Chain A
Amino acid sequence: MLGSYRIVLLIVSVLTMWFTLHKIRQSKIKIEYSLFWIILSVMLVILSLFPQIASFVSEIIGFQSPVNFIFPFIIFLLLIKLFYNSLLLSMFEKKIEGLAQESSILEERVRKLEEEKRDDEKK
């Protein structure tokens, strides 16, 4: 692997890790969700320090060049992650919808009860 490419990769992965940890410190991201990014950035740091790992693994699997292996692997990983995010998003939307509907139904009941009470007091 080219030296400059390794340096860029190293800087980017260290920055990613720093950014993730920084956001955890600020309590901007839940630990559960940050795990993926920390593991990913650690993996990238290790790979940029020891590119032999990539060559080794890709050789075992039968790829000619490590890049041919790394690219599809990372893309696959991110696709899975993205789909999982869509699942979470759907779940959150459902929860928010449920809460909004529930609150409107409760508000209607409270309003009705208040009106009844007011009418009772008038009598």
Chain B
Amino acid sequence: MKKLIIIPAYNEALNIERVVNNLIQNYSEYDYIIVNDGSTDHTAEICRKNKYNLLDLPINLGLTGAFQAGLKYAKRNGYDCAIQFDGDGQHRAEYIEPILKELQKGNNIVIGSRFVTEKKPHTMRMLGSRFISFAILLTTHKKISDPTSGMRMFDKKMINLFASNLNFSPEPDTVSYLIKCGAKVSEIQTSMDERIAGESYLTFVRSISYMFRVGISILLIQKFRKKEIIEDVEEVQ
């Protein structure tokens, strides 16, 4: 089974070496690819200097386009599964294996969630997360405890779908849409680190607008999309 770690990186010069060296040294059973999303700092130079596996996007596409580039690479090279792993060091590599195990049980998507067994804190930041969870529960009748977690693993079928379609962003609204299409989505308890260096993309204003955009997308727009047919893996075999 070919396994790929996709590392979208936008201005992660301060973090990328630490993150990638850890993967190379301790998790060599996985292949990895960094997707430099048109960074304005030295992210690309650092990757080239270290001879990392790198997709260097000539322009900034945003997380959706960057992650999609990684999935296209995965499809091209015949990978069986791919996981999004943030370049800022918030995701912890020791959780990749349990997530992979869960995927091999026949799931299409497995989310590394912070709140399967842990309780979700009552902070402002988690208010948005609660709202999105509620929207997904309302439209799909499935509980996703940590919809905004970026640590998601996709199987081959999902790789092919994401690689070739518009509007497949690695975001909660796509997850809700895919659940409705019949994709099997599961969650695994993980913990995440606080970012050590650099700045987070999500500021307060951005968080609010993100919540609205994704919330409205889940509640109103996704049900109008034409459904992709996702057959059951076990039945096919």
Best-buried of A96, A104, A107 by chain B (most CB within 10 Å): A104
Q: Does A94 lie within 8 Å of B72, measured CB to CB?
A: no
Q: Does B69 lie within 8 Å of A104, measured CB to CB?
A: yes
The residues of A that contact B65 with a CB separation of less than 8 Å are 97, 100-101
Q: Does A97 lie within 8 Å of B58, measured CB to CB?
A: no
Determine the residue in chain B with the shortest Cβ distance to A90. Answer: B166
Q: A105-B73, A108-B73 are in contact. Are A97 and B55 (CB under 8 A)?
A: no
Is A103 part of the contact surface with B, judged by Cβ < 8 Å?
yes
Determine the residue in chain B with the shortest Cβ distance to A97. Answer: B65
Q: Does A101 lie within 8 Å of B69, measured CB to CB?
A: yes
How many residue-residue contacts, CB under 8 A, span A and B?
41
The residues of B that contact A108 with a CB separation of less than 8 Å are 53-56, 73
Q: In B45-60, which residues have CB < 8 Å from any A CB?
A: 51, 53-59
Determine the residue in chain A with the shortest Cβ distance to B71. Answer: A101
Is B225 part of the contact surface with A, judged by Cβ < 8 Å?
no
Q: What 0/1 readout, one digit per residue, does chain A (30-72) give for beta carbons within 8 Å of chain B?
A: 0000000000000000000000000000000000000000000
Q: A90-B166, A108-B73 are in contact. Are A101 and B57 (CB under 8 A)?
A: yes
A24 to B68, CA, bound (A): 37
Q: Is the interface of B mostly helix, strand, loop or mixed?
A: mixed
Instruction: Give the total of A residues in contact with B, Cβ under 8 Å.
Output: 14
A117 to B18, CA, bound (A): 29
Q: In B143-170, which residues have CB < 8 Å from any A CB?
A: 166
Determine the residue in chain A with the shortest Cβ distance to B33. Answer: A108
Is B61 part of the contact surface with A, judged by Cβ < 8 Å?
yes
A108 to B166, CA, bound (A): 23
Q: Does B61 lie within 8 Å of A97, measured CB to CB?
A: yes
A100 to B58, CA, bound (A): 6
Q: In B27-84, which residues have CB < 8 Å from any A CB?
A: 35, 51, 53-59, 61, 65, 68-69, 72-73, 76
In the complex, what's the smallest C-beta–C-beta distance from A64 to chain B, in angstroms?
A: 38
Q: A100-B57, A100-B58, A100-B59 are in contact. Are A105 and B69 (CB under 8 A)?
A: yes
A108 to B51, CA, bound (A): 11
A108 to B52, CA, bound (A): 10
Q: Does A104 lie within 8 Å of B57, measured CB to CB?
A: yes
Determine the residue in chain A with the shortest Cβ distance to B51. Answer: A115
Q: A94-B166, A108-B54 are in contact. Are A101 and B68 (CB under 8 A)?
A: yes
Give the 7 A-B residue pairs with the shortest CB-CB distance, closest first.
Answer: A101-B69, A104-B55, A97-B65, A104-B57, A100-B57, A94-B166, A100-B59
25 A-B contacts (beta carbon < 8 Å): A90-B166, A97-B61, A97-B65, A100-B57, A100-B59, A100-B61, A100-B69, A101-B57, A101-B65, A101-B69, A101-B72, A103-B58, A104-B35, A104-B57, A104-B58, A105-B55, A105-B69, A105-B72, A105-B73, A105-B76, A107-B55, A108-B53, A108-B54, A108-B55, A111-B54
Interface residues of B (CB under 8 A from A): 35, 51, 53-59, 61, 65, 68-69, 72-73, 76, 166
